[in-house]
Amino acid sequence: MKNFTFENQTKIIFGKNAEEKLGEEIKKYSQKILLHYGGGSIKKIGLYDRVKKILKEENIDYIELSGVKPNPRLSLIKEGIEICRKENISFILAVGGGSVIDSSKAIAAGVTYPGDVWDLCLGKGEVTEPIPIGTILTIPAAGSESSPAAVVTNEEGWLKLDVQSEELRPKFSILNPENTFSLPKYQTIVGIADIMAHLMERYFTQETHVDLSDRLIEGNLQSVIKHAPLVLSNPSDYNSRAEIMWAGTVAHNDLFTSGRVADWASHKIEHELSALYDIPHGAGLAIIMPAWMKYVYRDNINKFAQFAHRVWHIDPDFEGIEKTALDGIEQLKSFFKEHGLPVTLQDLNIGDNRFREMARKCTSNGAVGNFKKLNENDVFNIYQLAK
Task: Report the amino acid identity of residue 146.
Answer: S
Please identify, using beta-carbon distances, which residue of 68 and 174 lies nearer to a second copy: 174
CA-closest candidate to residue 29, choices 87, 89, 82: 89
- The DSSP annotation for 24-83 comes to HHHHTT-SEEEEEE-SSHHHHTTHHHHHHHHHHHTT-EEEEE--PPSS-BHHHHHHHHHH
Give me the least distance between CB of 111 and a second copy, in Å please: 24
- The answer to whether the CB of 301 falls within 8 A of the CB of 206 is no
Distance CA 27, CA 41 (A): 26
Give me the least distance between CB of 80 and a second copy, in Å please: 27
Give me the least distance between CB of 13 and a second copy, in Å please: 5
Give me the least distance between CB of 125 and a second copy, in Å please: 24
Give me the least distance between CB of 24 and a second copy, in Å please: 12
CA-closest candidate to residue 74, choices 42, 120, 32, 114: 120
Please identify, using beta-carbon distances, which residue of 255 and 276 lies nearer to a second copy: 255
Distance CA 291, CA 295 (A): 6
- The answer to whether the CB of 317 falls within 8 A of the CB of 324 is yes
Task: Report the amino acid identity of residue 20.
Answer: E
Give me the least distance between CB of 290 and a second copy, in Å please: 23
- The DSSP annotation for 183-209 comes to --HHHHHHHHHHHHHHHHHHH--S---
Distance CA 280, CA 104 (A): 19
Please identify, using beta-carbon distances, which residue of 3 and 59 lies nearer to a second copy: 3
- The DSSP annotation for 326-346 comes to HHHHHHHHHHHHHTT---SSG
Q: Which residues, including other chains, have CB under 8 Å from residue 259's CB and lie 6 or more apart?
A: 1, 2, 3, 4, 207, 209, 210, 213
Contact footprint for a second copy (CB under 8 A): 1-18, 208-209, 211-212, 215-216, 218-220, 222-223, 226-227, 239-240, 242-243, 246-247, 250, 255, 258-259
Please identify, using beta-carbon distances, which residue of 11 and 323 lies nearer to a second copy: 11
Give me the least distance between CB of 309 and a second copy, in Å please: 13
**Of how many residues is the chain composed?**
387
Give me the least distance between CB of 208 and a second copy, in Å please: 8
Please identify, using beta-carbon distances, which residue of 153 and 220 lies nearer to a second copy: 220
Please identify, using beta-carbon distances, which residue of 17 and 75 lies nearer to a second copy: 17
Please identify, using beta-carbon distances, which residue of 99 and 165 lies nearer to a second copy: 165
Pairing state between β 149-154 and 133-137: unpaired
Please identify, using beta-carbon distances, which residue of 96 and 177 lies nearer to a second copy: 177
